[in-house]
Amino acid sequence: MTGPDRIPSGYVLIAGPGNTGKSSLLNRLAGSPLSPVHSEPGTTIFPVTGVCTSPEGQACFVDSRPLEHSQPEEWLRACDAAVLLLDARRPVEQLESPPVRDFLNSTVLQGKPVLTALGHSDHLPRRFRIPLALQLEMEARCAGVFTVCPPLGDGVETLKKAVLKLLPVRERLFPEGVNTLNSCRFLAAELVRSVLLGVLARETAESLAVQVEEYTRTKDRVYIRVNLLAARAEDRGIVIGRKGQTLARIRKDVETALQEAWRGSVQTEIWVKVREGWAERPSVLSELGYDF
C-alpha cells in the first residue's frame, strides 16, 4: 500500500555490452549528465549512480562496466531490479553472447526482475520494433522489452515507468533534490578519464590514475586540482607532450566538459606525476578509492 512516505523505491542495475548506451540512458533517466559518454567502448569502469524521483516512485540507477569486462554479481545482489541494454542493430547476436547469457542466468538465480531495452532504436525501422520485442521477450525470459534512444529521449519515460512498477513499496530511500550518490570529486575524476580517452592513445589513457586532490565550489565558480598519476616515468612525457601542448589540450577539454556538465565557470590545475606501478599496489589503490 502506497502513501505519502511509502512509494515504489529501490536500486536498479543498468547492464549490457560495451557501447550500447548505458551511460546515455542513465543520464537521461536522472535528467543530468552524470556519467561520461564516449565513443570508446568500456568508458565506465566504476559504477555511476543516478537518482530519479517522480510521482510514480523513486529509483537509483547504477551504470556498470560492460558485461564482457566484468559480471556485476555483487551489484546485482544489492539491487532490486535490472535493465539489460542491448544494441537494437544486433540484439540477437548480443543476447546469445556468453557474457549476456551469464548475466541473465544470474538474474534468475538471484530472483531479480529484469527488463530488456534496445538502445540506438533510431537505427531500427518502426515496423520491426514490435516483432523484435516479442521475439526477445520470449528468448530473454524478461519482464518486458522496450526500444529507447536516450540522446533523443525516445522511449525512456515508458521504460522508467515500467521499472518503477518492479520496485518494492517502502519508505522513500532518497531525499528530494538528490540526483546521485556519487561525490562531486568522483564525478569530476570520471569526466577527466573520459577526456583522456579522447586525447591520448587508449593504452596510455588507461594507464593513468585520476586523483582529484582539491575540489572547491563557490556561487560563481568551481576550482579543481587534478593529479594524473602515471605508472611509468616514460608516460609522463607522453601526457605532457612537446612544450606542454598535450597537457594544455587535456586541460582545455576538461574545462569545456566540466562547464557543459555543470553549467558554470570552471578553473582547473592539472599536474602529471609518476607513481610507479600504482595499479599493483593495494595501498595506492585504496588511497585513490579503487579498492572496491
What is the residue extent of each domain of the chain?
6-171, 184-287
* Statement: the pTM of the whole predicted model exceeds 0.75: yes
Q: Which residue has the cell 529507447?
A: 148
* Residue 14 burial by Cβ neighbours in a 10 Å radius (0-12, 13-18, 19+): buried
What is the CATH number assigned to the segment(s) 184-287?
3.30.300.20
Which class is domain 6-171? alpha beta
Helices H / strands E in the chain, number of each: 11, 10
Q: Which residue has the cell 556485476?
A: 72
CA distance to 3, 43, 192, 228, per residue, from 211 (Å): 43, 17, 10, 6
Q: How many CB atoms lie within 10 A of CB 67?
A: 24
Half-sphere exposure of 56 (CA within 13 A, CB side): 13
Per-residue pLDDT of the chain (292 residues; tens, 9 = 90+): 555 678 999 999 999 999 899 999 999 999 888 888 766 665 667 789 999 998 899 999 999 889 988 888 889 999 999 999 999 889 889 999 999 999 999 999 999 999 999 988 888 788 888 888 888 888 878 889 999 999 898 999 999 999 999 999 999 899 888 999 998 888 999 899 989 988 999 889 988 989 999 999 888 889 999 999 998 888 999 999 999 999 999 999 999 988 888 888 999 999 999 988 777 777 766 676 654 4
